Chains A and B, each alone.
Chain A
């Protein structure tokens, strides 16, 4: 079995084992989960090392060596996995957050421990699945596998006040989004089948992305078709990103979830959407992407500014971070919409950095919320006096989020803005910079109100994070942010190598549109040299 499949199998197997473990032996349950997530972290690091030492070529070679395992032959479903630079970054992110989440839950979850970890591991397996599969059936499969455990995680272990509403809203939004995307995936599937049957009338259909991309490269997808398919795919996946105005499920979902649930939700679940856009929609429908992305660049501004202002108005610390997340996803959207290597790799890097940062933030909030049972900012205050370690970590997390140099978030946001500028979105780039100011305002204010100001005696009984077991997850995540902030080159190199071919495809489509409409070529400075095959005429 290849190491990629193991990423899905190990958590699922551990979840299966946990079913057999008696619910009373909580220690065994915790250690099984921590071990399983530790193994996935090892595999994630192994892939990152492979990408560092061998570059994209090593990843391509590794992917090529993995056979397609036929699953359901008559409809063309196969278990087929692969990695590129982009997914290596995401695998590392997910394994980090999963591991940290298991550590955090180790002491935070005391009720129904067994059920909790079974669901948590299933969620992790689903997310890994999305990042590695190359088959559209399993893409949808893995995505839904990640969504439903989230429902129960929020519903059972979330904060009692709003968990039922939040869990239901999240599940319905994500399912609806996935179904819209599924419509797009099925469009691609049948168009690809038509293309396959041109060569061989007896050909069976295929859900494999390589076949879809081959059909797309061959010009089998007309321009009109690509516009429709891209719109559906993007709309579906954008619900998960979450793009304004489809974002309302997200902040309340963050707020109601238990600590590790928010970590997974904000850390990785939200990244599935942008990842799927880059993985599927870009290479399959480059013409569609070229047509729609300028609109996305505009909507991204709504995410950044609107999300930021709403975050400013919140009184609940988890809602502040929740809206901050959807505001940050605006940068990701802008980076994606820029269609430059700089901008898109910045977006992917931001997905990584934001994932780690937000997992850290929610881990810390969860840590003190479990003791204060209040997230209402005016209630809190002066917590740094009772919990200096958590306070210090929170300051660092806030700095990272606000885009202070030295953290990975700064590097990635800078790349996004440069990319946007390069693509000719000067106005958006300026607005995006302004967004950083808004971020700083609400984050610093929240930080001051929660951790500083006068000491409150009612919180004197609160305990700081003690011992290596409690501190490890926070230290781990801060280290990652700092390492990649101080020296982002290894990560950006890996990501760039992965996004280059994807970006080149869409850029070629942009150039073609510019030529056909006779307008001035895009202000992009690095025009691709190889013109791609012309798209088939509209059918």
Chain B
């Protein structure tokens, strides 16, 4: 029993409850203080992951809770994600008619759920952690009660989220039936035993779990909610959903892969399945993005496409593949949040999410234009930006497995496809004349966040070893195969 390991989660939960209480005392016009409190809480969570007792790693609660390199890396990413989401939320929330305090509370609760997701080590905590995230998001997505789209988005997410939760539970039940345990430690011992035979029930269970997690990561076939929900949800929540919630899904996928994939038998059975999902996700997301005229829908499809690239590294299921996946996820945090920050502030002045309203942005507001351009190019995978290296590594890792080379071809084709629709946005920002002469007002806090994100994106692209030094050891610690076989 080692509860100090949960320090980051304690901080997040305490902040969530603290904000909820403090909200009661604050007069209506001073709710912005809550945003500051939440941002401080994120910094505190980030700092808590560096406390030696936490950073050294270990297990707690009889092995239900695990802190290792990957968990720590993801916790830091979640803290950064939440921080950047709060940075872009402040002005947005001020415009909301009601429920400003609850907004921050729910965001912090979702964050705490994500933090736990990074560390789960048995199926019960997995399910609970995941539902903490999902339920918070159900409310947050439908937060603009007066907007039909927002409510519809919330309902849509609720329905599909429930189906995926049912699939997940069904899968867990299968695995429990096959093994008689919910603890990951037991599974590790089981698959590593020399007399291990993969039973059909176990395989079906694992596949169902992956399917259920596909809801969070927006992988085909559990992706159908994404474009509508991304469009309807409040924009900062879309950002949070597209980064935090997705990464929570991926870290769980990686955890399951680590648990069962250490047996070559299971990995071999899983790879074709994951590869198929990755290919479908790639094509669905990237082809679907082409005709979009609304930037939030475009980012929805783009996020499906990006999920496909991350799955490329997951399907490869060897050490470098996982390292590439973690690299990609790190790049994705800064990239997507920079893009969404711009979307929030452009919409504040134009009151629109139409891509045509981005015309002339590079001239109208060079900083927003530059951040959006760099963000989109990073998503497209253009050097010298961080996203390029992530994509390169993920494609390289999948290429190492001869049976996945067809998937690499799919990935490469989609690089060209995605280049097209990202460039279509960039084209409007740079080439077209402005429709809106109005300058979007951007507070200093946001400017700093954007500049820092751009520095991280370009600096990391030029010197990827700085990021790789964090992801490679985390991946190595998982103990998957060192070579692609």
A434 in contact (CB, < 8 A) = no
- B409/A183 in contact, CB under 8 A: yes
Interface window among B221-229, B238-246, B413-421:
B413-421
Query: Across the interface, which residues of B come within 8 angstroms of A180, CB to CB?
Result: 412
B79 in contact (CB, < 8 A) = no
Quote the shortest CB–CB distance from A175 to chain B (angstroms).
5
Known: A156-B430, A172-B416, A183-B408. A75 touches B396 (CB 8 A): yes
A448 in contact (CB, < 8 A) = no
Known: A112-B363, A148-B377, A148-B382. A71 touches B431 (CB 8 A): no
Contact partner of A75 (CB less than 8 A), chosen from B320, B423, B426, B431, is B320
CA distance A164 to B409 in the complex (A): 28
- A168/B409 in contact, CB under 8 A: no
Known: A115-B362, A144-B382. A75 touches B393 (CB 8 A): yes
The count of residues in chain B whose C-beta lies closer than 8 Å to any C-beta of chain A is 33
CA distance A23 to B383 in the complex (A): 25
A530 in contact (CB, < 8 A) = no
Contact partner of B465 (CB less than 8 A), chosen from A72, A144, A163, is A72
Query: Across the interface, which residues of A come within 8 angstroms of B430, CB to CB?
Result: 152, 155-156
- The 8 A CB mask of A147-175 against B (1 = contact, 0 = none) is 01001100110000001100110011001
- B392/A183 in contact, CB under 8 A: no
CA distance A186 to B377 in the complex (A): 23
Known: A74-B472, A112-B363, A115-B362. A141 touches B415 (CB 8 A): no
- B423/A171 in contact, CB under 8 A: yes
Tell me the chain B residues, 234-261 only, with Cβ under 8 Å from chain A. none
Listed residue (A73, A112, A148, A168) with the most chain B CB atoms within 10 angstroms of its CB: A148
- B419/A74 in contact, CB under 8 A: no
Query: Across the interface, which residues of B come within 8 angstroms of A156, CB to CB?
Result: 430-431
B-side binding surface: helix, strand, loop or mixed? helix
Tell me the chain A residues, 472-510 only, with Cβ under 8 Å from chain B. none
- A190/B400 in contact, CB under 8 A: yes
CA distance A112 to B430 in the complex (A): 11
CA distance A23 to B463 in the complex (A): 28
Quote the shortest CB–CB distance from A17 to chain B (angstroms).
14
- The 8 A CB mask of B399-415 against A (1 = contact, 0 = none) is 11000000011001001
- A171/B431 in contact, CB under 8 A: no
Quote the shortest CB–CB distance from A365 to chain B (angstroms).
22
Tell me the chain A residues, 171-207 only, with Cβ under 8 Å from chain B. 171-172, 175-176, 179-180, 182-183, 186, 189-190
- B408/A176 in contact, CB under 8 A: no
- A163/B396 in contact, CB under 8 A: no
Quote the shortest CB–CB distance from B82 to chain A (angstroms).
29
Quote the shortest CB–CB distance from A381 to chain B (angstroms).
32
Query: Across the interface, which residues of B come within 8 angstroms of A148, CB to CB?
Result: 377, 382
- B420/A168 in contact, CB under 8 A: yes
CA distance A73 to B465 in the complex (A): 8
Of all chain A residues, which has the CB nearest B411? A179
CA distance A183 to B396 in the complex (A): 9
Quote the shortest CB–CB distance from B419 to chain A (angstroms).
5
CA distance A92 to B472 in the complex (A): 40
- A179/B377 in contact, CB under 8 A: no
Listed residue (A71, A167, A175) with the most chain B CB atoms within 10 angstroms of its CB: A175
Interface residues on A, range: 35 or more
Contact partner of B383 (CB less than 8 A), chosen from A72, A115, A145, A152, is A145
Tell me the chain B residues, 451-485 only, with Cβ under 8 Å from chain A. 463-465, 468, 472
CA distance A115 to B373 in the complex (A): 13
B427 in contact (CB, < 8 A) = yes
Query: Across the interface, which residues of B come within 8 angstroms of A163, CB to CB?
Result: 431
- A186/B399 in contact, CB under 8 A: yes
Listed residue (A23, A141, A167) with the most chain B CB atoms within 10 angstroms of its CB: A141
Known: A155-B427, A155-B430. A179 touches B468 (CB 8 A): no
Total of A-B residue pairs, C-beta within 8 Å:
76
CA distance A179 to B383 in the complex (A): 13
Contact partner of B431 (CB less than 8 A), chosen from A23, A72, A164, is A164
Of all chain B residues, which has the CB nearest A179? B412
CA distance A6 to B408 in the complex (A): 35
Of all chain B residues, which has the CB nearest A141? B383
Known: A74-B320, A137-B392, A164-B431. A145 touches B415 (CB 8 A): no
Query: Across the interface, which residues of A come within 8 angstroms of B408, CB to CB?
Result: 183, 186
Known: A71-B465, A73-B465, A152-B430. A141 touches B420 (CB 8 A): no
B218 in contact (CB, < 8 A) = no
B174 in contact (CB, < 8 A) = no
A140 in contact (CB, < 8 A) = yes
Of all chain A residues, which has the CB nearest B476? A74
- A72/B382 in contact, CB under 8 A: no
- B468/A74 in contact, CB under 8 A: yes
Quote the shortest CB–CB distance from A11 to chain B (angstroms).
13
CA distance A171 to B431 in the complex (A): 15
- B383/A144 in contact, CB under 8 A: yes
Quote the shortest CB–CB distance from B480 to chain A (angstroms).
14
CA distance A314 to B409 in the complex (A): 37
B384 in contact (CB, < 8 A) = yes
CA distance A30 to B416 in the complex (A): 34
Quote the shortest CB–CB distance from B384 to chain A (angstroms).
6
Query: Across the interface, which residues of A come within 8 angstroms of B384, CB to CB?
Result: 141, 145
CA distance A137 to B382 in the complex (A): 13
B263 in contact (CB, < 8 A) = no
Known: A72-B465, A74-B472, A164-B427. A183 touches B362 (CB 8 A): no
B388 in contact (CB, < 8 A) = yes
Of all chain A residues, which has the CB nearest B412? A179
Contact partner of A172 (CB less than 8 A), chosen from B320, B400, B419, B463, is B419
Query: Across the interface, which residues of B come within 8 angstroms of A176, CB to CB?
Result: 416
Quote the shortest CB–CB distance from B454 to chain A (angstroms).
10
- B465/A182 in contact, CB under 8 A: no
B112 in contact (CB, < 8 A) = no
Of all chain B residues, which has the CB nearest A73? B465
B323 in contact (CB, < 8 A) = yes
Tell me the chain A residues, 103-151 only, with Cβ under 8 Å from chain B. 112, 115, 137, 140-142, 144-145, 148, 151
Quote the shortest CB–CB distance from B468 to chain A (angstroms).
5
CA distance A23 to B468 in the complex (A): 36
Query: Across the interface, which residues of A come within 8 angstroms of B416, CB to CB?
Result: 172, 175-176, 179
Q: List 17 A-B contacts (CB under 8 A).
A: A72-B465, A75-B468, A142-B383, A144-B382, A144-B383, A145-B384, A148-B377, A151-B426, A152-B430, A155-B431, A167-B427, A168-B420, A175-B416, A179-B412, A186-B395, A190-B399, A190-B400
Beyond the given pairs A168-B427, A171-B419, A182-B412, 6 more chain A to chain B contacts, judged by CB atoms under 8 angstroms and listed by A's residue number, are: A145-B382, A172-B420, A175-B415, A186-B396, A186-B399, A190-B400
Q: Please list the residues of chain A having a beta carbon within 8 angstroms of any beta carbon in chain B.
A: 23, 70-75, 77, 112, 115, 137, 140-142, 144-145, 148, 151-152, 155-156, 163-164, 167-168, 171-172, 175-176, 179-180, 182-183, 186, 189-190
Q: Please list the residues of chain B having a beta carbon within 8 angstroms of any beta carbon in chain A.
A: 320, 323, 362-363, 366, 377, 382-384, 388, 392-393, 395-396, 399-400, 408-409, 412, 415-416, 419-420, 423, 426-427, 430-431, 463-465, 468, 472
The 10 A-B residue pairs with the shortest CB-CB distance, nearest first, are A179-B412, A141-B383, A155-B431, A186-B399, A74-B472, A72-B468, A176-B416, A148-B382, A72-B465, A145-B383
